[in-house]
Amino acid sequence: MKKLPVTAKLLAPVAIKRDRQSERSESVHSIAGTMVRGAIAAIYLQQHGEVDDTFNHLFLDENSCRFGPLDPGPNCFPLTAATCKREGIEHTLVDQLWFRIAQHHRAGSVPNNAETPWRQCDTCEADLQSLNGFWQAENGHPREKSNDRQQVAAHVGIDRHTTTAAESILYTLEALQPSGQEEDLYGWLWADDDALTALKQLLQNEDYRISVGHHRTRGYGDLHLQLGNPVKKNDSQPCTEDWEQWNRDLIAFLSSPPLSVPDLDPDNFYFSLSFPTGAVFVDRFLCYTLDPADLISWLPPMPSADAAFPIQNRPTRQLASGGTMCWIAAVTRHERLRGWNAAHGLPRQDEWATARGSVYVYRFTGTATEREELIEQLATLSEEGVGLRRNEGFGRVIVSDNFHRQFCKQEV
Give the phi and the psi of residue 363 in degrees, each rounded to 5. Answer: -125, 130
- Distance CA(177)–CA(15), nearest Å, equals 9
Instruction: Count CB-CB contacts under 10 A for residue 325.
Output: 21
pLDDT of residue 181: 80
Closest CA to 134 of 67, 185, 188, 189: 185
User: Do 197 and 65 contact (CB within 8 A), yes or no?
Assistant: no
**Residue 189, Cβ density class (10 Å: 0-12 exposed, 13-18 middle, ≥19 buried):** buried
Same structural domain, 285 and 331 = yes
Q: Residue 335 to residues 104, 289, 386: CA-CA distances in angstroms?
A: 25, 11, 17
- Distance CA(281)–CA(293), nearest Å, equals 9
Q: Residue 321 to residues 134, 371, 376: CA-CA distances in angstroms?
A: 38, 9, 11
pLDDT of residue 21: 60
**Which of 214, 231, 248 delimits the end of a domain?**
231
Same structural domain, 211 and 335 = no
- Distance CA(362)–CA(146), nearest Å, equals 34
Same structural domain, 41 and 166 = yes
Closest CA to 130 of 291, 306, 357: 357
- Distance CA(47)–CA(310), nearest Å, equals 61
Domain CATH number, residue 344: 3.30.70
Same structural domain, 157 and 300 = no
pLDDT of residue 20: 63
Cβ neighbours of residue 26 closer than 8 Å, sequence gap 6 or more: 17, 18, 19, 174
In this structure, the chain runs to a length of: 412
- Distance CA(156)–CA(164), nearest Å, equals 10
Q: How many CA atoms lie within 13 A of 193 on its CB side?
A: 0
Same structural domain, 373 and 274 = yes
Cβ neighbours of residue 309 closer than 8 Å, sequence gap 6 or more: 104, 107
Same structural domain, 185 and 246 = no
- For 136-174, give one letter per residue: b (16+ CB within 10 A) or e: eeeeeebebbeeebeeeeeeeeeeeeeeeeeeeeeeebb
Give the phi and the psi of residue 375 in degrees, each rounded to 5. Answer: -65, -35
pLDDT of residue 236: 53
pLDDT of residue 226: 93
In a domain, 124, yes or no: no
**Which of 193, 212, 231 delimits the end of a domain?**
231
pLDDT in tens, 183-223: 889 999 999 999 999 999 999 999 999 999 888 877 888 99
**Which of 175, 202, 231 delimits the end of a domain?**
231
pLDDT of residue 325: 94
pLDDT of residue 25: 56
Cβ neighbours of residue 139 closer than 8 Å, sequence gap 6 or more: none
pLDDT of residue 18: 75
- Distance CA(360)–CA(127), nearest Å, equals 25
User: Do 19 and 226 contact (CB within 8 A), yes or no?
Assistant: no
Same structural domain, 267 and 365 = yes
Cβ neighbours of residue 398 closer than 8 Å, sequence gap 6 or more: 273, 274, 275, 276, 382
pLDDT tens string, the chain, 412 residues long: the values are: 889 999 999 999 898 877 766 555 567 788 999 999 999 999 999 999 889 999 999 999 989 999 999 999 899 999 999 999 988 888 899 999 999 999 888 876 777 778 888 888 988 989 999 998 899 888 777 888 766 677 777 777 777 788 788 877 777 778 888 887 888 899 999 999 999 999 999 999 999 999 998 888 778 889 999 999 988 765 556 678 899 999 999 999 999 988 888 888 889 999 999 999 999 999 999 999 999 999 999 999 998 877 767 787 788 899 998 999 999 999 999 998 887 777 777 778 889 999 999 999 999 999 999 999 999 999 999 999 999 999 999 999 999 999 999 999 876 5
Instruction: Count CB-CB contacts under 10 A for residue 304.
Output: 7
Same structural domain, 274 and 165 = no
In a domain, 104, yes or no: no
Same structural domain, 216 and 168 = yes
**Residue 339, Cβ density class (10 Å: 0-12 exposed, 13-18 middle, ≥19 buried):** middle
